[in-house]
Amino acid sequence: MMEIISSDISLLVLTIGLFLLSGAIFRRFKLMIFHPVLLTAVIIILFLKWTGIEYSHYKQAVGILDFALGMSVVALGYLMYEQVEHLRSAAIPVLVATIAGCVVGIAAVVGIAVAFGVERDIITSIAPKSVTVPIAIAISEPRGGIVAVTSVVVFCTGVLGSLCGAKLLSLCGVKDPMARGFALGAASHGIGTARAIELGALDGAMSGLAMALTGFGTAVLLPLVEKYLY
C-alpha cells in the first residue's frame, strides 16, 4: 500500500488533485487561508510528514510540474509581445518604477530587521522577498542566507500579494492596468503575476515585465543597500 502511495504517479496526481480542490474551496469561501497555493502546500507538507516520504523523492515525482512552471513563465513573453506598444511607450516610467521598487522593497524589510536586531544571516535570507524563488535563492545563498527561510518568505510574500494586492491598489485609487500590473509583479513575483493575468492582458504583461526587471534589479542593488544598512 505504501509503495502505491509513494509512487511518482500517485504523488503527481495527488498534488494536481489537491490544487484543483483547493481552488474550488477558495472560490467558494473567498478566505485567505484557503488560497489554492497555500492550502495545497500545507496539506502536502502534512502528508509527507505523516507518510514519512522524503521531500527529495516528492520533488523528483512532481518534477514535470517544475518544467510546466518554467514553460508558463516563458509564455508570459507572448503576453508582453501582444502589449509591446504599450510597454514601449512606458519605458522611462518602467525604469524609474523598477529602481524605486527594488530599493524600497529591499530597504524596508532590511531596515525593519536591523531595527529589531535580527541576525545577519536571517536578514540576508529575507532581503530578496519580492523576487521569484529561484532568483531569490541565487541572491541570498552565496551571501550566507538560509535557503529554507528565503523560500518560505518569498512564498508568503507572493500569496499575500496575490490575495491583498489588487484590493489594496483599488483602495489607494490605482486603477490604471499598467500601474496595477507592474505593482503586483514587482511586489509579489509569479503568484502576483498570476493574479494580474486574471485582471487583464495588459495587467499580466506589465506584471511579467516587472517580475523579470525586479529580479535583475534586486540582484544588482542588494549589495549596495546592504552596504549602507548593515
| Mean of the per-residue pLDDT values of the chain | 87
Domain residue spans in the chain?
1-61, 83-229
Residue 57 has pLDDT above 80, yes or no: yes
Query: Which pLDDT value is given to residue 2?
Result: 62
Mean per-residue pLDDT for 84-109?
85
- Tell me how far apart the alpha carbons of residues 116 and 230 are, in angstroms, rounded to a whole number: 12
Q: Half-sphere exposure of residue 155, counting CA atoms within 13 Å on the CB side?
A: 14
For the record, the C-alpha cell of 111 comes out as 531596515
Tell me the percentage of the chain whose pLDDT exceeds 90.
30
Segment 9-44, tens digit of pLDDT: 999 999 999 999 999 998 888 887 788 988 999 999
CA distance 189 to 183: 10
Q: State residue 173's pLDDT score.
A: 93
Q: Torsion angle of alpha carbons 36, 108, 203, 176, nearest 10°?
A: 130
Residue 230 has pLDDT above 70, yes or no: no
Condensed to tens digits (0 to 9), the pLDDT of residues 115-174 reads 898 998 899 999 999 898 888 888 898 888 898 899 889 989 999 898 889 989 999 999
DSSP letters, 21-81, are: HHHHHHHHH--GGG-HHHHHHHHHHHHHHHHT--HHHHHHHTHHHHHHHHHHHHHHHHHHH
